[in-house]
């Protein structure tokens, strides 16, 4: 089955700096890669996703890049703000069926 590894496990940045979280996956058939944000005491929520036919996707201050050859994808957050502090999960899966496999999460702390 799919195996997703996520790094780093913790990340601390100054407000205004950029943050990058990286994930690798094992199954070359995976074609859907979402990122979730989990705030304290809540369930994870989708913040951005990318499909395997696209190399990059942006949504305001967040972006995701995908390298299918190397089987890795990354989340980029620019101009970080304190409200970006949360746990972020990557996942790998399939658009048309089956369950996604989650990484172990990255705890991002943005210092004001």
Partner 1 sequence: NAGVTQTPKFQVLKTGQSMTLQCAQDMNHNSMYWYRQDPGMGLRLIYYSASEGTTDKGEVPNGYNVSRLNKREFSLRLESAAPSQTSVYFCASSATGRSFGNTIYFGEGSWLTVV
Among 75, 77, 91, 108, binds partner 1 (CB under 8 A): 91
Q: Identify whether the C-beta of residue 66 lies closer than 8 Å to the C-beta of residue 50.
A: yes
98 contact partners, CB below 8 Å, separation of at least 6: none
Instruction: Mark out the alpha helices in the chain (DSSP H runs).
Output: none
Nearer to partner 1, 6 or 80 (CB): 6
Structure tokens at 58: 């942006």
Q: Is 29 in the site for partner 1 (CB under 8 A)?
A: no
Alpha-carbon distance of 34 to 103, in angstroms, equals 11
The correct pick among 32, 52, 76, 78 for binding partner 1 (CB under 8 A) is 32
CB 105 to partner 1: min, Å: 5
Q: Which residues bind partner 1 (CB under 8 A)?
A: 6, 32, 34, 36, 41-46, 49, 51, 89, 91, 93-100, 102-105
């Amino acid at each position: 089955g799919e195996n997703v590894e996520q790094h780093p496990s913790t990340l601390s940045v100054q407000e205004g700096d950029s943050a990058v979280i990286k994930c690798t996956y094992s199954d070359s058939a995976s074609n859907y890669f979402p990122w979730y944000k989990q705030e304290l005491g809540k369930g994870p929520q989708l913040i951005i996703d990318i499909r395997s036919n696209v190399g990059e996707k942006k949504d305001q201050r967040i972006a995701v890049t995908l390298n299918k050859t190397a089987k890795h994808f990354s989340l980029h957050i620019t101009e970080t703000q304190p409200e970006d502090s949360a746990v972020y999960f990557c996942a790998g899966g399939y658009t048309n069926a089956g369950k996604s496999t989650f990484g172990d999460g990255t705890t991002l702390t943005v210092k004001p």
